A and B are shown apart, each in its own frame.
Chain A
Amino acid sequence: MSDPLPAKERMKIPRQPMPERSPAERTRNFLEVNLGMESAAARREAQRCLQCKSQHCCGGCPVGVKVREFLERIERGDFLGAAAKMREDNVLPAITGRVCPQEDQCEGVCILGKRGEPVAIGWLERFIADYERQAGQVGLPPRAPHTGKKVAIVGSGPAGLSAAGDLVQLGHDVVVLEALHEIGGVLVYGIPEFRLPKSIVREEIDNLRRMGVQFRTNVVVGRTITIDELLDEEGFHAVFIATGAGLPTFLHIPGENLCGVYSANEFLTRVNLMKSYRFPDYDQPVYDCRGRQAAVIGGGNTALDAVRTAVRLGAQKAFLVYRRSESEMPARAEEIKHARQEGVEFMMLTAPVEFLGDERGRLTGARLQRTELGAPDASGRRRPVPVPGSEFDLPLGMAVIAVGNRGNPLVQSATPDLRTHRGGYIEADPETLRTSKRGVFAGGDIVTGGATVIQAMGAGRRAARSIDRFLRTGE
């Protein structure tokens, strides 16, 4: 490699674009929107990194990916080396490269972002993961000698998967128990195909399988088997609970049970997991919103996924109804941009007060109310206050409620000695992820409430370390 490029030259390179499917094309199908960078563009983008000493990017990553080191390898053209570096800290790079809120993490603290645009760390992460996969050379980490210890992992979302990967590498036997018929948690039932192709999730899971992780689908822990039975009868030495925040929240306003009003969980599960967008080739139907208006209530990633799904199902117009303003929306910046390009109408500072229906119990519209922002609330965001007399009606054929989830109580209610706190979440030490029950650990959304894929993976990782210590020392 020639002399390293001087910083001045590096700063002249503009951020390389991500090739995308055109809005006109993609709103008619569920194919992935981002197409991925070419290697030349990726190397050029990596050259923008100033290789600065402070490495805020690494600190900004919830799992501490050594960003500078992998960027430097991309710059040299050593893509497989870059991928291997990445895998030291992140076992699902093809996934996080696509779904992490980079603007709040690595890219949010990149020095270049102070004056211009940060390095496109997320896109580069995705690039090397895809490169490695397409080259068929995924470097699976070696496995330590068998310890003879068995760990059960409850739930196969990112928290469960990352813990499984780490524990199996440490030589333990790992069995993942999943309630649904498919592995992946929110990655398969929540996040749509156009943002995260399911074939990629499947390949990452196959990698874990090749590393020795065993998967059992259709096991509802708390019903099919209890935590106590896993420990006392099935011979597991430890259990990691990673069941996610899977209990939908409703608004408790009139008309919420009309046909055509969905929770985001149900709507997305029907479309993504059950593939109802391919009905009747797949059997599960979804409410027909073709040629009619659809509204999604909420402002997070889930709401954005739901509203863009409604567009693809043929809604004549899709509204995103959010009670705060756009700057408070927790969704990823890229999703907001893409939604806008796809013609989603953003109806900010608005909240529903009632759903309206016909005599057959089918949704016909919503009564909405304008809001304005008052003093900050507990989350630090300004609280929306309804404006009296501002009600108006919006005709609708379908509505989706995406205002957050709580902890599903199934496991907790079958495990009385497992302490929970407000919202039904499991109490666990933030560092060791131990619960009130010996040998039982918990992490991911079931402990923190709805968070992010990478945070769930970070929790899985910490749990694996702590479970390993427990298995070796009994502490």
Chain B
Amino acid sequence: MHRIIEARFLAPDVKWFRIEAPSIARKRKAGQFVIVRVHERGERIPLTIADADPAGQWVALIVQGVGKTTHLLNTLQAGDAVCDIVGPLGRPSEIDLYGTAVVIGGGLGAAIAYPTARALKDAGNRVIAILGARSKSLIILEREMRAISDELMLITDDGTSGVRGFVTDALRQLIESGRPLDYVLAIGPIPMMRAVADTTRPRGIRTVVSLNPIMVDGTGMCGGCRVVVGGRSQFACVDGPEFDAHQVDFGLLAARNAMYREAEKTALDRFVSGEGDPHGIGEPGCRLADAVSSRPDPGAAPPGRPAPAPAASDPPP
């Protein structure tokens, strides 16, 4: 059982958590993730460690509600707990003094990119951050990213914040300005990462992406997370999650991530309609029974329904 110390929405359906996990907090490095099992009947889902307590008490996770497990997790509040959390998993980001590093976060990708961006800055790089989202309300971690970057560019699909367009437009503009770019980190939806790779490939700019295949154990035991990089199968949970963007087979990743589409829909529909036992409390010996409050969370946007006003003005400390 791992107690949630703090929980707060950053944007519609995007929630920031501080969770007790001392052994992980002490060990983790930028780019690593944990696997969380919310309840006794739950699945194991990977989440990036967005931040950790220097004193080694807690890790911070930023969760975007996309399906049953993430939406369920996002109903939890401070004082609740998750069943299991294991990590830190994956190889840490390769942090070096590259020179000028561009860090691109698309949507939730900003959360995954943030710890690495900070480490790149600490290593002495000049960091240019590009944050992109569909709309203003979906931009997260703007203040944090601004604090650790030398420049920050905001891009939204609808132009409600920053420049209207896609992150690749901003990247191309940077490249065309003639400034030498030594390193690009791109994290976001698969089409975005692919577009970034296509943009930097002809110019030979070293580009790294963080891949998000479906995982189970996170220790290299199942091979479910295999991705093809440079024509070779690799296990993202132990060989990654960061890989050379120019070598990644994005089409395969997209196809494999759609493998359980029908089941995911069933699970989400049941959850939304309140059917079943979402917390697995009916499971004998369920450890979550005492920990989960049934009180409604005013911030929780029921999936598929209009979201409440974002609390984006109140980002994590």
Which of A's residues lie within 8 Å of B, judged by CB? 179-181, 217-220, 223-225, 246-248, 250, 252, 256-257, 259-260, 262-263, 265-266, 269-270, 274-275, 279-285, 287-288, 360-362, 408-410
Residues of B near A274 (CB, < 8 A) are: 43-44, 216
Is the beta-carbon distance between A410 and B238 smaller than 8 angstroms?
yes
Return the contact of B217 from the options A180, A275, A288 (Cβ within 8 A). Answer: A180
Q: How many residue pairs bridge A and B at CB < 8 Å?
A: 123
Is the beta-carbon distance between B259 and A259 smaller than 8 angstroms?
yes
A283-B68, A285-B267, A410-B219 given. 6 additional CB < 8 A pairs? A265-B221, A280-B270, A281-B41, A282-B42, A283-B267, A408-B221
CB<8 Å pairs between A and B, sample of 23: A220-B86, A223-B87, A224-B86, A225-B27, A247-B220, A248-B222, A257-B228, A257-B233, A259-B255, A259-B259, A263-B222, A269-B216, A269-B222, A274-B43, A274-B44, A275-B41, A279-B263, A279-B267, A280-B263, A281-B41, A282-B280, A285-B43, A287-B259
Is the beta-carbon distance between A224 and B87 smaller than 8 angstroms?
yes
Return the contact of A223 from the options B89, B260, B264 (Cβ within 8 A). Answer: B89
Which of B's residues lie within 8 Å of A, judged by CB? 23-24, 27, 37, 41-44, 68-69, 83-89, 216-224, 226, 228, 233, 238, 251-252, 255-256, 258-260, 262-264, 266-267, 270, 276-277, 280
Given that A250-B233, A257-B228, A287-B259 are contacting pairs, would A220 and B84 also be in contact in the complex, using a CB cutoff of 8 Å? no
Is the beta-carbon distance between B255 and A288 smaller than 8 angstroms?
no
Is the beta-carbon distance between A269 and B217 smaller than 8 angstroms?
yes
The residue of chain B having its C-beta at the shortest distance from the C-beta of A220 within the complex is: B219
Residues of B near A283 (CB, < 8 A) are: 41-43, 68-69, 267
Given that A223-B88, A224-B27, A257-B233 are contacting pairs, would A408 and B226 also be in contact in the complex, using a CB cutoff of 8 Å? no
What is the distance, in angstroms, from B267's C-beta to the closest C-beta of chain A? 5
Residues of B near A260 (CB, < 8 A) are: 259
Bound-state CA distance A281–B263 (Å) is: 12
Residues of A near B219 (CB, < 8 A) are: 179, 220, 223, 246, 408, 410
What is the distance, in angstroms, from B79's C-beta to the closest C-beta of chain A? 21
Is the beta-carbon distance between B216 and A361 smaller than 8 angstroms?
no
Is the beta-carbon distance between A257 and B41 smaller than 8 angstroms?
no
Bound-state CA distance A217–B86 (Å) is: 9
Is the beta-carbon distance between A179 and B259 smaller than 8 angstroms?
no
Residues of B near A219 (CB, < 8 A) are: 23, 86
Is the beta-carbon distance between B277 and A259 smaller than 8 angstroms?
no
What is the distance, in angstroms, from A289's C-beta to the closest C-beta of chain B? 12
What is the distance, in angstroms, from B162's C-beta to the closest C-beta of chain A? 35
